[in-house]
Structure 1
Amino acid sequence: MQRRHDLDWVRVCAFGLLVLYHVGMYYVTWDWHVKSPAASDALEPFMLLSSPWRLALLFLVSGAATAFLLERQRRSAEVARRRPGFLASRSWRLLVPLVFGMLVIVPPQSYYEVVEQLPGGYHDGYLAFYGRYLTGYDGFCDADGCLDMPTWNHLWFVAYLWVYTMVLWLLWRMAPRALIAAGRGLDRALAGIGIVVWPTLFLGLVRILLVGRFEQTHALVDDWYNHAQYFSVFLLGFLIARSEGVWAAMVRARWVALLLWLATWAGLIAYFVRFADGQPPELLRTAMRMVWGLDQWCAIMAVLGFARHWNPGDSRALRYLVPAVFPVYILHQTVTVVLAHNLKPLAIPPLVEGILLVMVTFAACFAGYEVVRRIAWLRPLFGLKRLPGARTDGSPAMAGSTES
């Protein structure tokens, strides 16, 4: 089976972009755990370049990778009988890091959020806070509500990925013919102009029908708009994983997709600036929700189309980065929050401070990865294979293997 190095690079770069995005969250007016004294709306147009589509892209790539994993399991049934089953393997690789992250990695984010945002401040120290965190204390409240604890914060992606993987496995076991038929239908529907039209219509309609009714909570049980878009693209990635026709259509449409993405980005900026202090007409609001869907899909299509066209091959850098993605992802937001809060007394100019935050976050996370990958008992806590002697450039926990 030939490995899809283009999808490996897409995943690596998308998670790298996530680090930049979360550093940016410190400097914009949008709600986040800690905020810079210099926070403003200056960066928000640049944040909007990726915010509509970044996570949808990751779920799509994860769906494709799940298809490759299941296919590999089917072709290696005899070997698979001597190893943990697919469900057990994926649960171990995703749920162990999720629980560990919620108990160890995430709490400092909530602590500094309380320190900075609790009316009157918080002065009891981290150990006292951590005891309250573990017992589900619900008394840290402000005008916007109370802080939920324990929480998964940025690790919500892992929880959603596990749930979607379980649902897809059930479909694969119970209705394989339906999945095959759906894949063949997509082959036909996404040929030609359909590669632009149908996913755009779906994502736009999902936004029109659901975004105003369901807040994006990342809490799993009530996050219906996010489930509608993210599980759908996850399933799409699974169904088109081996469809050469769909990938070829993306390659052909890559320049059109790029231009449409940039045009819709500019349109969204103009819309949000124009109605920053007022309500738009309902018809315009509905139209711009469809524009949001067009922006989402065209960005995804441009990224995947150019990656497929360039078809980057294997390299030492890629073999290093693929297994590093999950540990770096687990660590990055806590590192950024802790650094950002503790750099405040230095009053570093925001431009210099932002660059420093990016550089130190990456450096600290990769240093953490270097430690984790060398210590056997730490490896499963960060989604790496248990045995140090096993290959670490195979199926990364975040999305599975991208082999075909």
Structure 2
Amino acid sequence: MTTTNRRYDIDWLRVIAIGLLLIYHVAIGFQTWGVMIGFIASTKTWESLWIPMSMLNVWRIPLLFFVSGMGVYFALRRRNWKELLMERTGRILVPFLFGMFAIVPIHIYLWKSYYKMTAGYEYNPGHLWFLGNIFTYVLVLSPIFFYLKGHDDGKLAKGIKWLFGNPLGLFATLATFAAEAWLVNPGIYSLYATTWHGFFLGLLAFFFGFCFVLSGQPFLELILKWKWIFVVIGSALFVIRMVVFKQMAPNYLQSIESNFWIFSVFAFGYKYLNHGGKALAYLSQAAYPVYILHMVFLYLGSKYIFQLDLPAPVQFLMVLVVTSVGCFATYEVIRRVKFLRPLFGLKWKSV
């Protein structure tokens, strides 16, 4: 497997995706239907906020699956299969199980308490379903990935590099995801959590993310060349979805829109974000614990702020600040306590 320099842009995209996740989840609390999917909802709705969120919701989760597959490529360069499975068990499975039994029950309790329901202990994967999927993908796809690692000059690896080094690879990606959307036929395309659609879409994105990095510089040069075309087509499909289909475009069309946004994110990310620094080093470490913790502080902030007679935009900013400050303050504790670190996906080593 070809050795390449560290791709800081991928680290940045992971951090940015987690940041967008926080904003997206806060925004759900200002939609009339928020309570129906288990969020604390404000009586001060802000429905126009959902317009930019609708643009995000077709690609933000698939992007994370792509990035996770890319991460496995880099992990394989210095690990055998036993080391990879041990590392991913500690980094993914342990936080998943800990979160399911110790973190998610807290925000379930807060939600039930707010709506005056009987509130007891209730474990659930909750928002951590993503981790369960990722660990499954590692188990399922590792044999293929290790085969490609051991046969870097073989026909299969060369075929993948050739395919994604020219436009045919992009069209193959679009066709594959459109086929998934058509065959699985989810009721709502952006409902990924604990659905077969979310599982198969994530599996494909995880695999394609690995292939994108395996393809190396030719793939990067291709998406850089076409970056503005991706933006234009993605924007046009978003407008069509909102205006013509009133947000409910056919699933195959949403899958195509999703991938054009993702191609553009990768292209602009590589062009402008491929640099490290102290900020990235800190945020990269914090992103995982913040993801695990954010629903607790989101619900805690919502529970008290939504009782205040304030305009929706003010409530939104307050909840976002409480969620962010609560997560990062707790992270500062976690990273300093050795036995807590692995429970939140961090290495045993303390600061």
Contact 2:186–2:251 (CA under 8 A) maintained in structure 1: no
Compared with structure 1, are the counterparts of its residues 355 and 188 closer, same or farther at alpha carbon in structure 2 (3 Å cutoff)? same
RMSD after superposition: 2.5
2:265 to 303, 309, 312: 303
CA distance in 2, matches of 1:313, 1:245: 20
Report the equivalent of 2:310. 348
Cα deviations by residue, 1:279-314 (Å, 9 ceiling, x for unpaired): xxxxxx6xx323212211111000100111224311
CA distance in 2, matches of 1:364, 1:373: 14
CA distance in 2, matches of 1:262, 1:379: 41
CA distance in 2, matches of 1:7, 1:358: 25
Report the equivalent of 1:189. 163
1:379 to 323, 341, 344: 341
1:207 to 162, 178, 181: 181
Compared with structure 1, are the counterparts of its residues 311 and 116 closer, same or farther at alpha carbon in structure 2 (3 Å cutoff)? closer
Amino acid at match of 1:111: Y
CA distance in 2, matches of 1:50, 1:153: 20
Compared with structure 1, are the counterparts of its residues 19 and 214 closer, same or farther at alpha carbon in structure 2 (3 Å cutoff)? closer
Report the equivalent of 2:17. 14
Amino acid at match of 2:22: V
Partner SS, residue 78 of structure 2: helix
Moved more, 336-345 or 153-162: 336-345
Partner SS, residue 349 of structure 2: coil
Report the equivalent of 2:128. 155
CA distance in 1, matches of 2:192, 2:260: 25
Contact 2:76–2:149 (CA under 8 A) maintained in structure 1: no
CA distance in 2, matches of 1:51, 1:229: 14
Question: Which structure has the larger Rg?
Answer: 1
Compared with structure 1, are the counterparts of its residues 175 and 258 closer, same or farther at alpha carbon in structure 2 (3 Å cutoff)? closer
Cα deviations by residue, 1:192-239 (Å, 9 ceiling, x for unpaired): 4335422122212211221247995733xxx32222211111011112
Report the equivalent of 1:258. 231
Higher relative contact order (CA 8 A, sep 6+): 1
What is the correspondence of 1:197-236 to structure 2 with a 5 Å cutoff? 197-212=171-186, 216=191, 218-219=193-194, 223-236=195-208
Is 1:41 the equivalent of 2:47? yes
Alignment: residue pair count: 342
Report the equivalent of 1:172. 145
Q: Which has the higher helix share?
A: 2
Compared with structure 1, are the counterparts of its residues 355 and 246 closer, same or farther at alpha carbon in structure 2 (3 Å cutoff)? same
- Tell me how far 1:35 sits from its aligned partner: 1.1
Report the equivalent of 1:111. 109
Contact 2:305–2:318 (CA under 8 A) maintained in structure 1: no
Amino acid at match of 2:334: V
Cα deviations by residue, 1:32-52 (Å, 9 ceiling, x for unpaired): 321111235322221111101
Is 1:240 the equivalent of 2:212? yes
Contact 2:163–2:169 (CA under 8 A) maintained in structure 1: yes
Contact 1:65–1:241 (CA under 8 A) maintained in structure 2: no
Contact 1:261–1:295 (CA under 8 A) maintained in structure 2: yes
CA distance in 2, matches of 1:24, 1:213: 22
